Amino acid sequence: MKNYLVTGGAGFIGSNFVIYMLNKYDDVNIINIDKLTYAGNLENLKSVEGNEHYTFIQADICDKDAMQAIFDKYEIDYVVNFAAESHVDRSISDPEIFVQTNVLGTVNLLNIAKNAWQTGDDQYKDGVKFLQVSTDEVYGSLGETGYFMETTPLDPHSPYSSSKASADFFVKAYSDTYKFPVNITRCSNNYGPYQFPEKLIPLMINNVLQHKDLPIYGDGMQVRDWLYVEDHCKAIDMVIRGGKLGEVYNVGGHNERPNITIVKTIIDYIKKNVDDQVGEHLMKYVEDRKGHDRRYGIAPDKIKADLGWYPETTFEVGIVKTIKWYLENKTWMQNVTSGSYQQYYEKMYANK
Ligand code: NAD
Ligand code: TYD
């Protein structure tokens, strides 16, 4: 049996990863620790509740005692660090919590894992690994051509991407200084089930179904490289099992689309299949995001060559699966948008 400490496992990608792993393997135990911020939701994990290989603990990755207690109690083999404040717009209005969780929380986990795993000078228990889930946003923004490579210098712009880049530097420092066993994955924009509707795709699905404005920042021609979340989970699993220690792997979807194409695709699907009253009249061009990165794009050559990973899900297939999931899980959407979501939404979009 291998014991995985998954942090942030009640969030979007983390919960998909927990479900993916428990469905795929009989010989893994998952210890999911999550602070349950506005973005964490145990409803995502209903299908694994009661699974004997799954444990949930509510805790903050910044809490030294709580993290130490987990390493004391469980023989952790792998840390998969998803826990983060993840939304760029929130980082623009409130950067400090991003430093707290994304930087200090990661350093806290690194320290505690290092102490728990160390067997001698620069020596660690066999087979252990710390996987940092990072983002392509640490590379900054691309022009019309080219792709981010693992060798691209880090040039983050938003408070969010700056906090993730800082965390990446600490992970690298632990590898370089202490020979601590790590990998970093840097993925592009994920989409799929259980994504909180502050992010582009679920926000647009939620709004279009309610005939609400579809807020498009600036000219809507910013490009993101969309990665279906299950493909990402598979990549993380492969990097944990086969990634060369100390290496960074970019994980991209080969699915670049401008934002307005995404929004129009969602409108078209809902119009054809659900509600013919919706249409492009709902699109509303609003004030641009400050410091808005123009284009992200990954050529996932290294992870393909080294580990055989490639994105299996085309955008056309993934977006239909995703929209169908939200249509079948309207109660989930209602639950996550009750409470503080309305205040966030009004504050965020009222003056746009
Ligand atoms: P999310 O916001 O949906 O989930 C984050 C989870 O972390 C939540 O469950 C939250 O409760 C938990 N959390 C927050 N602060 C915590 C703390 N201090 N201690 C413990 N738990 C805490 O995020 P996501 O979209 O699932 O992203 C997961 C990871 O992947 C993040 O590290 C993010 O930077 C990275 N990433 C995401 C994307 C994307 O498109 N969503 C793209 C690239 C990288
Ligand atoms: P988002 O989902 O926030 O991811 P990220 O900023 O990490 O890439 O946004 C994706 C793109 O969609 C980004 O270019 C900003 C844009 N966007 C809008 O135009 N309107 C919106 O309401 C949101 C949330 C995002």
In a domain, 25, yes or no: yes
Nearest residue to 70 via CA among 9, 22, 132, 133: 9
Residue 352 binned pLDDT confidence (cut-offs 50, 70, 90): confident
- Nearest residue (by CA) to ligand 1, atom 14, is 84
In a domain, 81, yes or no: yes
Known catalytic residue at 121: no
User: What total number of domains does the chain contain?
Assistant: 1
Residue 253 binned pLDDT confidence (cut-offs 50, 70, 90): confident
The β-bridge partners of 90 are none
CATH number at residue 245: 3.40.50.720
In a domain, 10, yes or no: yes
Find the helix packing angle between 340-349 and 330-337, rounded to 10°: 80
**For residues 194 and 154, is the Cβ–Cβ distance under 8 A?**
no
Question: For the chain, what percent of residues have pLDDT higher than 90?
Answer: 98
Range of the structural domain that residue 64 is part of: 2-191+227-252+292-313
In a domain, 222, yes or no: no
**For residues 247 and 266, is the Cβ–Cβ distance under 8 A?**
no
3-state secondary structure of 311: coil
Write the pLDDT tens digit of every residue in 201-238.
999 999 999 999 999 999 999 999 999 999 999 999 99
Write the pLDDT tens digit of every residue in 73-102.
999 999 999 999 999 999 999 999 999 999
> Measured from the CB, is residue 133 less than 6 Å from ligand 1?
yes
Question: For the chain, what percent of residues have pLDDT higher than 70?
Answer: 100
In a domain, 220, yes or no: no
In a domain, 16, yes or no: yes
85, 136, 198, 225: which one is catalytic?
136
Tell me the two tokens of residue 306: 């080294």
Write the pLDDT tens digit of every residue in 14-58.
999 999 999 999 999 999 999 999 999 999 999 999 999 999 999
In a domain, 272, yes or no: no
Q: Is the pTM of this model over 0.85?
A: yes
Q: Residue 339's pLDDT is what?
A: 86
> Measured from the CB, is residue 37 less than 6 Å from ligand 1?
yes
Q: Residue 246's pLDDT is what?
A: 98
List % helix, strand, coil for the chain (3-state, nearest 5): 45, 20, 35
In a domain, 262, yes or no: no
